[in-house]
Each structure stands twice: as C-alpha cells, then as structure tokens.
Structure 1
Amino acid sequence: MKKYSILTILIFVALVFTGCKKYLDVNKNENDPTEVPLSTLLPAAQVSLANSLAMGYGFSNILAVYTHQMTTRESPDQYGILPSEFYLNQGWAEIYENALADLDVIISQGSEDAARSDIYVGMAKILKAYAFSQLVDIFGDVPFSDFNKFPEGVRTPKFDGSSDIYPTLLTMLDEGIASLNGTENATSPTSDDLIYKGDKTKWIKAANTIKLKLYTQMRKVKDVQSEVQALLGTPANLINMTSESFYFLMDH
C-alpha cells in the first residue's frame, strides 16, 4: 500500500509539472491579440481618421466657426474663440491613439515577408501622411518623429517643427505610391477599403493631389513652382472628377 501511494504521488507530480505549461495557456487573453488582420485594421483607421476631422465630432466642428458653417446658436459669428469654449481632446485622441496607431501597425505588419501586402502598406502611408498634414495645418508643431515610440521608452514625445514635418510627408506620399505599385501582395483590400474599395489608380491620384495641396501650403516659404508644374503637367494623375473624391460617408 505504501509503495502504491508513493508511485501515485510521483505520477501526479510528473503530470502537474509536464502539463503545467499547457494548463497555464488558458490564461492567454484572447481579447488582446498580438496580430490583427489588415482587413480589420484598415477600415478602423479610416473611420478614426474621419471621426477626428468630421463636422459635429472632430476638429472641423470647431474650425467651422471660421467659415460660418456652425449651425448651432452658440456665438457662431465670434472669431475670438478661447480654449475654454471648445474641446479638442476628442479629435486629438482619435487621430493619434486610433488612426495613426492602426496605420503604423498596418505598415509594420504588411511589410513582413510572411504576409507582405504592398497595397495595404501604400494606403496606410498615404493616410498617415494626410493625417499628419491635417495636424500640422491645425496646430503647427506636433509630435511626429517620437510618435508611437512608447515601447522604446519615449514617454513624452517631443513636438517637431511644422517646417520639418512637411517635407517628410511628401517623401511618405512617394513611398506610398511606390508601395501601391509593388507586386508583393499576400492579400489585397476590397470592400474593407471604405474610400476607394481597393482601387490603386484612385489611391495614386489621391496621393498626388495631397502632394499638390502640401505644395500649395508651402509656397509662401519655399519655391515649389517646378514641383507644382510637374503635378499639373499630368492632370490624369490627379483627382479630377467627383467620383474620385477622397472621402466616404458614415452615419453616427
């Protein structure tokens, strides 16, 4: 009886130690995945970006005061807005914490050899450049080079100068166009692309049109005549009809 008991104990201990790892796997949080499909990340980023800029929700709700688009009765014709009279945190958090964070994941994940997708990466770079251009146009200096470096120990990202950010965005747009023309695509967007349904030609036109807008913004501090003429010289590469508009409609 004594031998049997000792043997039983040894078997039990062996099972516990050999099965411990498998047993502990049940503690894995399935609601916090280490990888999300690109087809899920792209529409989420697009919606977040739209929310951050939208009328009635994001930055445009406040900035519209200056173009008389505000339809409420809270002093729409007063141009001397004070910080206490509006709430910018909603748009700021939406664009940084959601839109830009998701776009960075798309760029990183879509660049991996195992599941490379040049199209997703190209779209994400174009959207990222556009998002930062909006931040610069609204605020001027914003966190850029230190953005999304929390894992690297950056707790308080520095604010980069707007004049330093704009040229980088133009390069990012060119990289986006180059990625769209790439051939490595384990998966390609269709209906999950809420803006152009995966149409690469329209995305390239949008990227070039955004470049034209950036050059227009830069014209007073830098001679960009040759760059503008190059873009205008090939109008087929720009948005030139309503059906190519860079937007999508959503209901709240």
Structure 2
Amino acid sequence: MKFKTLIIAALMAVGGSSCNTKSFLDINTNPNQLPTSLPNYVFTNALNTTATNIAGNTNGQGSNELGFYWSGQWTQGNGYIITTSQFAYQFTNGDFNYWDTYYDNLEDYQFVINNADANNQKFLKGPSKVMKVMLFQQLVDLYGNIPYTDALKAAAVLAPKFDDQKAVYAALITALDEAIVDLKANPFTGGFSTSDIAFGGNITKWVQFANSLKMRILIRQSKVAGMESYIKTEINKIVTEGSGFITGYDAAIGGPSFFQPAAGQLNPVYDRWGYNETGAKRALNNYPRPTKFLIDGLKAAGDTLRLKRIAYAIGGENGNTPGVSTKAEIAANYAGTPFGASSGYLPANTSSVGPSLLVKGDYNRPYIIMTAAEVQFLLAEAKQRYSDVTLPNTAKAYFEEGIVQSFRVLGANTAGAAAFKGSKIENYDFDSSTDKLAAIAIQKWIALTNFSGLEAWAEYRRTNLPVTPQSIQVPDNKRPTRLFYPNTEGGSNSANVTAQGTIDVFATKLFWDVD
C-alpha cells in the first residue's frame, strides 16, 4: 500500500475562523505538505480529491470512466487509436491502478478523524467516516479482498493484511452506524460549514447520504445465500432511525462556489472531456461516445427526453449555443457507436456525451457521487425482494419515483416521466413488466448513465442486466469480473498479495457476483 507522509510541524488554534474553499484548488498548494495542517483544510482537499479520483482529469482516467465503458454505456470514439486494455480486455497489474489513489485519499480522511478532537473540529469526524465507507466499498467492488482492519495505520503497519471482502462489507455497515452517531452528536459550528463542499455542513443530508450508502451495500449482497434475514434487519433499522435517504437532491462535491475558471480548478469532468479554462476543447472531447446499445434502446422505448440529455445529436455540441446540439434534436439525429468499434464511427456521424454532463462554459457544476434516482431504485428492489420490510412505499412507487428523479438529475422535464405509467412498455411500465426485478435493474442502469459508471459496472456484474453486446475487439464472450491487484502493492506488500491466490480477472468473481 502506498503511504502518504503528512508533515505537521504545529497544529494551529482554530479561533472560530472558516477556510477559504477556493484556496484548495490552487494547483501550487497541497494542504498535506504544508508546515501546518488543520483538519478542516485537509477535509476540503480530501473531498476534492475524491471527486478527481472517481471522475479523472487531464492527468488520467478515474474509476467511473472505466465503469461507463464496462457497463456498456460508453465506448471509445473513432479517430483515436483503440485502447486495447479497455476494449479488448488486454490489461495487466500495471493498468487501472485506482488502488494507490484511493488509499492515499483514505489516509486524508483518517487524518481528519485522528486530529478532529484535538482541534475542536469534532463535526468533521462523522462526514469523514461516511466518505471512508464509500471509498472502501468501491475498493472491494474493484479488487475483492483488501486491507481494512490493518489499513491507514501508517508506519505502525507497513504490510497490512487483507480482509475478506464479505467481512469488509459487514464492517462498513457498522462503520456507518458509528458515523451517524458522530454526525448527530457533533453539528458544524461557526463558519466551518464552508469546509464541507459536499453538503455545506448540513448534518441531516450527511445522515441521509449514510443511509443511502447502507442501502447500496445491502442490496449489492441481495443474491448472496443466507443474507436475506440480515439485509431485512438492517433495512428496518434504517427505517427506525428515521432520517430517511437522499430524496430530490443528489450527493455531490464542489459547485459554483468552489470550482473556478482557472487551470487545475475546474470541475474534473469538464476538465477531462470538455474544455479548458479558456473554453478550448480538450484533446479527449470526442473520446467517450454513448453506445449504440444505449441510444437504440432509448429510441425504441420512446425515451427521447432523457436521450437528448444523455447525448448530443450527431456532430456534437454547438459551440455558439452551449448545451444545444449542432444538428436538430430529433430522434433520427442520435446515433450510438458499437462497443469497441475502431473505425467507421466519427464525430460527424455519431452522438457524443450530452448536456447532462458537458456544456461549454459550465465548468463549475457539482460533481455527483450518488443520485437520488439510484436510491429510489435501491428502495424499489428492496421492497420487491423483501415485501415485509418496513419501507413505507410500494416497489412500484419507488420505481416510478426513480424514473422521475432520473429525469430531474439529467435536466429533463420531470413531467415526461409520467408518460411511461400505463404505457405497456416493458421495463418502463412497472405493472406491465413481466420481470419486476429486471425492470428495476434496467431502469437503474439508465439512471446511472453519465453519473455513476463504477456503480453501473458493479450492478451489471451483479444482475447481468441489461444484456449488452460484447466488444467488437473480443472474439469470445469473456468479460472482466474485477481488476488485478496493482504491481505497486505487489511490490511493497508481496506476501499479503500472494496470499490472495491466483487472480483470473475473467473468472475470479467477487463474493456478491454469484450468477
């Protein structure tokens, strides 16, 4: 595991002052290498780092991007040399190393937890614990067994042992319970809410986010034998706690008061695939392309309102009218690229990632880490699978609200969601759908598009839905089930990596991937 050395010469007294969030995006400033480092500064920087690690930026690909590809939502635009590691699945332990950046980020949150009390900043402990859970779950979903109980102990444990992935999942539920206790006991004080670039110091929203992450963790295990009683008990505990879930808003990092029109200070999505600080197109602007499978499916269902937010029409965004396609926005002008295609599908005749994600000049959007739509579909699945849980609404009601929230976050008119009620369209009209769980899974997949690629890939592995085409680059039907442990960990913690056995990325499934 890669360790970060936090050099702390002195801890300054807080004195009731708040931090200037804009300073954290100064590319010449790293709070973890300053002679003094207060928890509130590290916390703000940690949140920003989380967004960058998941989204990626000009320095490299984030975990969400890989998920968009491997869940069948995006593919590579023609005009670039085909990336065989992603589309022919020719990758090794030297590719896709999210491990080091994730653990590096986790050490930031652990630093905040370790130093919050001494600096009268207890209000940062709960949020940091919630963020740790989110990142640890994503690490499990990428790699399986990981260091957990021995992790984040710096020089005290230089070769951390690996914990069983199922045990880590169980520990994360307990960690969220502890985080909620901290959150309720320690509201933000003074002006320190500005250090929280996720929820602005709103404790209720932090608790709702924690409950939403619990649902994600619990439902991920829904196909694992012997888990039903545990999952139902934990869901009922969430209902009893009473704070609810993120509803009508999304968990997001940054925003207009944080991201700035300067190099290194843009929203990371905008920075990687959109434009630079002067509005010039990035070199990767035409790289991610919505798949033919995605676009054809939306068109077939008459789901054109979401289609026009997920993608631009062929030819891309009109640079003179940001957020609007160059071609007329009619269904016939939307065309996807077959997954893994390396020729024949250029920007002039295919659609690009749409205004729900990229609009020229819109450099300061919050970076979404969990949508309310996803949460509604989690609740729908919970109620459909476990009808006796104490969730108050029906599976149908949660399903239909999930579609509404998907319209909302995409920027489509939410009234359009009502058109699918009673439409008889399979996987859109709940009553007419022959397999309710399949309908929930497919609608969740659509709702995750452009926002949560890693989650979409995890859910694809768990449900095998939707049935997406194989990459043109791959002659058989094998697909990755996980990543290799990175060579950096193999070099510094070789005995514990070796103890995990031989990893076959096409056959060594994660514990929740049972089909």
TM-score (norm 2): 0.38
State the one-letter code of the partner of 1:166.
Y
Match of 2:126 among 106, 122, 129: 122
Shift of 1:161: 1.0
Match of 1:227 among 217, 221, 234: 234
1:248 is matched with 253
Within 1, Cα distance between the matches of 2:192 and 2:178? 18
User: Residue 70 of structure 1: SS of its match in structure 2?
Assistant: strand
Within 2, Cα distance between the matches of 1:107 and 1:236? 23
User: Residue 194 of structure 2: SS of its match in structure 1?
Assistant: coil
Match of 2:176 among 149, 165, 173: 173
Shift of 1:71: 4.0
Shift of 1:36: 1.3
Shift of 1:101: 0.6
User: Residue 182 of structure 2: SS of its match in structure 1?
Assistant: helix
Trace 1:43-192 onto structure 2 (pairs within 5 A): 43-54=44-55, 57-67=61-71, 68-73=73-78, 74=82, 81-84=89-92, 87-89=95-97, 91-97=98-104, 99-112=105-118, 115-152=119-156, 154-183=157-186, 189-192=192-195
State the one-letter code of the partner of 1:108.
N
2:212 is matched with 209
Within 1, Cα distance between the matches of 2:128 and 2:38? 14
8 Å contact 1:52–1:59 — kept in the other structure? yes
User: Residue 101 of structure 2: SS of its match in structure 1?
Assistant: helix
User: Residue 151 of structure 2: SS of its match in structure 1?
Assistant: coil
8 Å contact 2:40–2:112 — kept in the other structure? no
8 Å contact 2:204–2:243 — kept in the other structure? no
1:198 is matched with 201
**Cα deviations across residues 113-172 of structure 1 (Å, max 9, x unaligned)?**
xx33332000000000111011111111111112122321x2222221111101111111
Larger RCO: 1 or 2 (CA < 8 Å, sep 6+): 2
Q: Considering only aligned residues, what root-mean-square deviation do their CA atoms show, in Å?
A: 3.0
User: Residue 143 of structure 1: SS of its match in structure 2?
Assistant: coil
Shift of 1:34: 6.8
**Identity across aligned pairs (percent)?**
23
Shift of 1:52: 1.9
User: What 5-or-longer segments of structure 1 have no aligned partner?
Assistant: 1-27
Distance change >3 Å, CA 189–CA 166, structure 1 → 2: farther
Shift of 1:32: 5.1
User: Residue 125 of structure 2: SS of its match in structure 1?
Assistant: helix
Distance change >3 Å, CA 169–CA 34, structure 1 → 2: farther
Task: Name whichever structure is richer in helix by fraction.
Answer: 1
Within 2, Cα distance between the matches of 1:132 and 1:171? 13
Within 2, Cα distance between the matches of 1:126 and 1:29? 28
Within 1, Cα distance between the matches of 2:53 and 2:205? 23
More displaced 10-residue stretch of structure 1: 179-188 or 49-58: 179-188
TM-score (norm 1): 0.75
Q: Does 1:238 align with 2:241?
A: no
Alignment size in residue pairs: 218
**Cα deviations across residues 30-68 of structure 1 (Å, max 9, x unaligned)?**
995575112211111112222222156211222221223
User: What 5-or-longer segments of structure 2 have no aligned partner?
Assistant: 1-7, 11-31, 255-266, 272-515
State the one-letter code of the partner of 1:100.
L
Over alpha carbons, which structure has the higher Rg? 1
Distance change >3 Å, CA 72–CA 85, structure 1 → 2: farther
